A and B are shown apart, each in its own frame.
Chain A
Amino acid sequence: MTDTKGENKTSFLAELLNKSKFGADEPGFLQKVRKTGAERTLSLPFPTSKVEEWRQISLKPLERGEFFQAERTAVNESEISDFLFNESSQSRIVLSNGRVQDSLTNVSGLVGDCFAGTFADMPDKYRKNVEKRFNSVAQYGDDPFVPFNTATFGDVIFVYVPKNIQEKAPLHIMHVTKGDATYTSPRVFIFAERHSDITVIEDFIGFDESTYFNTAVSETVLEDEAHVTHVKLQRESTNAIHISRIASHLGRGSNYNSYTISIGAKLFRNEPLALVDDENAHATLDGLVMLRGDQVADTHSILDHLKPNCTSHQLHKVIAHDTAKSVFNGKIFVRKDSQQIDAFQENRNLLLSADATVFTKPQLEIFADDVKCSHGATIGQLSQDELFYLMSRGLSQAQSTQMLTYGFALEVIDNLPVESLRDQLAVEVERFANSVSAQKATV
């Protein structure tokens, strides 16, 4: 499709970029990358609802807002204590407003030569691979937000897992945003060498009702037989705008699992991108979105099978309540000669209120014949039969609603590899389900 039309006036992002400043003290490599990002940002039009990819949501709240580059700040341990995971007590990086906060960061638990930190601290032996691959995966089409992030990132977190290293402790990267009318551009780059294994949890945290704008980008490069599990937890403030890309490039026999759990933000767009670029690789792109109030969530995923003999799995679940709006577009490409592909995609939407809206567009584009690709999409509500069954066993309507909503969400959460993460989310889901059922009961 040729949807390249945009507005001609100076893009919102270009204006934002022009009034931001970046320290000249960072390494030359990053400066260079930043420059290419800036150039690209200036050359790309800002998306409008006339562009197919952005048709269903409006970026007006972003354009109307006035944002400034976030300033250095510090968070207290007490502020984030509710969000911590026991498993990551010695493998945690805390960034506040895009800068590493040393007082709360502790990566002493990482095994052997495994590295996580800023470019300046990274051992020289990793530079070659990092410089070669950094910023090579995330860019897709005319998306201006990835170059904007590249032009404006703060402290980039580099994660490097050398050959044959199995990192047991999950690495918890917390992006905390504080302040009003600010913007930050969190950036993470993960490089998993041959036959390595790591789990990374990226956590986006905001407080109360502060208004801010984040463009988050993370890139993962998997060499042959590498295993990476990437969890993205989006629990931004209820007034935040969050636009992100989670990109990955899969080598031969590698295994990439991405889970995106989205609870917060007023306007939220997530674009997972998996390039399955060698044989026998597997990619999972699962997602859970829970929406309340007037939240708007948009997930545009791309699973691109470039080579034969690969598998992929995608389960995207959405619960929409109140006047919330959810958009899902899941593209699966199977390129020419990529035979023996098994791709499965499922999108299930639960509409809990009369005013919630769901758009979904699962999309298969297949150019090879010896494949097995399927997708399913449903939009519905809690089953009356199931409610009746539970109520006939003595549960109240509110309890039954809560239990079924909880069950709907649990399918995604159950797959997560970290126990305390599952527990935290279970509480979160329960809270959501309770608020829904309480509201239902009073109606």
Chain B
Amino acid sequence: MSKLSEAEAVEVAAAKKYKYGFKTNIEYEDFPKGLNEDIIREISKRKNEPDFMLEFRLKSFHNWLAMEEPEWPNLHYKKPNYNDIQYYSIPKKKPKLDSLDEVDPEILETYNKLGIPLQEQKMLAGVAVDAVFDSVSVATTFKEKLAEAGVIFCSISEAIQEHPELIKKYLGSVVPANDNFFATLNSAVFSDGSFCYVPKGVTCPMELSTYFRINNENSGQFERTLIIAEEGSSVSYLEGCTAPMFDTNQLHAAVVELVALDNAEIRYSTVQNWYPGDENGVGGIFNFVTKRGICRGVNSKISWTQVETGSAITWKYPSVILKGDNSIGEFYSVALTNDMQQADTGTKMIHLGKNTKSTIVSKGISAGKSQNSYRGLVKIGKKADGSRNYSVCDSMLIGDQCGAHTFPYIESNNSSSSVEHEATTSKIGEDQIFYLQQRGLDEEEAISLIINGFCKEVFKELPMEFAVEATKLLAIKLEGSVG
């Protein structure tokens, strides 16, 4: 083990604290707390943004001032003090450790259970990686391959500098600057995020993932993602990873915008495993996310898949606006809450074009003292002739202290379209557990197997390696919740 400098030692100590609470006093580069016009100007200035971006941020900020934090979700939390947040910070590089021995053994155990390869473990834990698995070189290979295909994949700050015309055209076109409280806040202060542009007729040669993006520092708490799929193109994007994620910022308000033009297809998969707080509900991330895609062109398709297992508060409704005729929207979701976690998540499918189709499959699992809500909207517009929607949302309850709720809003203005919705809520089957135990599985294995069966419809939509990890993740999350 090499010697750590004093500063590094402090950082390591601070880093360990993340896990146990949010009393962090980490100094960032000097930037005042609070939110006002000067702060916004300063953010924009430091990021060296063109004028139109500053205007966008200021417009959003003024809209935000007039908005109220929504109270309709089935969530109970202490509202953050928005003037006590530092809105701009160069994220600190993670402390570089020399070997895995220096990593918290608890985290390592989780990695092992997830089956994450050793090299990846090192990367996740912030251990300096050797030449064989140099993240930079891997990323470079990826970049070359993408460039060959003409795909632009970079951070959104980079895109603002290098492709302002695309940003100008598409940023805020799906989630406008006055959309909702959290999205508008994001529009005003967003720090960084991903940008992806797939040109006409191109099928992206690989699954894109933030994980391999070259400047893969923490994107911070106000992440902004924009994906554009031109005519006839297709892309699959992965966000997050199954490994537990710790962060100093309690409030997260991300915005994701997807634009699919004629015959284009976007698949967006998320695995979210932010720190959920301890079993008494102390700490944990507040995750307020606005995700929306628009099928602007004919025959286009947007598919959301999410596995939500972390965060103390999850507020998230990945939506699709089906504007182009014959376009398709899909939403597959597994939301698991344990201990004191609260989730209010679902989707919105807005049918505007003719013969548009949408499918919603939502699986909620509540354990411990958690509250899990599905909230969805299916709206069939007047001109959406021949549209169809099929929704199914199932909830499973483990333990008698938790709650499951469904709030599906269904609205139809068109007599030639059809909407079907069904939902069930039930206990994990005692007979099934008994059957499996009788075959030699222990109770936890049995539950894990049943849960996997319950979620299979969603997992099969995930990219292969994600699906395997997600399966294990659920098992870990439910450990000790039965008994």
* Chain A residues packing against B (C-beta within 8 Å): 1-3, 52, 336-337, 339, 349, 351-354, 356-381
Contacts and interface: CB of A to CB of B under 8 A. Distances in A.
B425 A352 contact: no
Contacts of B48: none
23 contacts: A2-B71, A336-B401, A351-B414, A353-B415, A357-B411, A357-B412, A358-B411, A360-B410, A361-B407, A361-B410, A363-B405, A366-B425, A367-B402, A369-B398, A369-B400, A369-B402, A376-B420, A376-B423, A377-B421, A378-B419, A378-B421, A379-B412, A381-B415
B400 A337 contact: yes
Given A377-B410, A378-B420, A1 B425 contact: no
A1 B418 contact: no
A369 B427 contact: yes
B72 interface: yes
B383 to A, nearest CB: 10
A359 B411 contact: yes
B411 A362 contact: no
A52 B72 contact: yes
B419 A370 contact: no
A381 B416 contact: yes
Given A1-B74, A364-B423, A371-B427, A339 B400 contact: yes
Contacts of A371: 397, 425-427
B413 interface: yes
Interface in B380-437: 380, 382, 395, 397-427
Interface of B: 71-72, 74, 380, 382, 395, 397-427
Contact of A362 (B397, B402, B408, B417): B408
Contacts of B420: 376-378, 380
A367 B422 CA distance: 19
A371 B423 CA distance: 13
A272 to B, nearest CB: 19
A359 B410 contact: yes
B483 to A, nearest CB: 14
A400 B422 CA distance: 29
Contacts of B398: 369
Nearest to A333: B405
B425 A373 contact: yes
A349 B401 CA distance: 35
B340 to A, nearest CB: 15
Contacts of B71: 1-2
A379 B389 CA distance: 10
B425 A374 contact: yes
Contacts of A370: 400, 427
Given A365-B403, A373-B424, A377-B421, A351 B397 contact: no
B412 A373 contact: no
A337 B403 CA distance: 11
A365 B410 CA distance: 17
A354 B414 contact: yes
Contacts of A359: 409-411
Contacts of B397: 366, 368-369, 371
A358 B400 contact: no
Nearest to A378: B420
Contacts of A378: 418-421
Given A364-B423, A369-B400, A373-B425, A352 B406 contact: no
Contact of B422 (A52, A336, A358, A375): A375
A283 B404 CA distance: 22
A365 B427 contact: no
Contacts of B421: 362, 375-378
Contact of B405 (A353, A364, A372): A364
Contacts of A362: 406, 408, 421, 423
A292 to B, nearest CB: 14
Contacts of A376: 420-423
B63 to A, nearest CB: 20
Contacts of B427: 369-371
A374 B418 contact: no
A379 B419 contact: yes
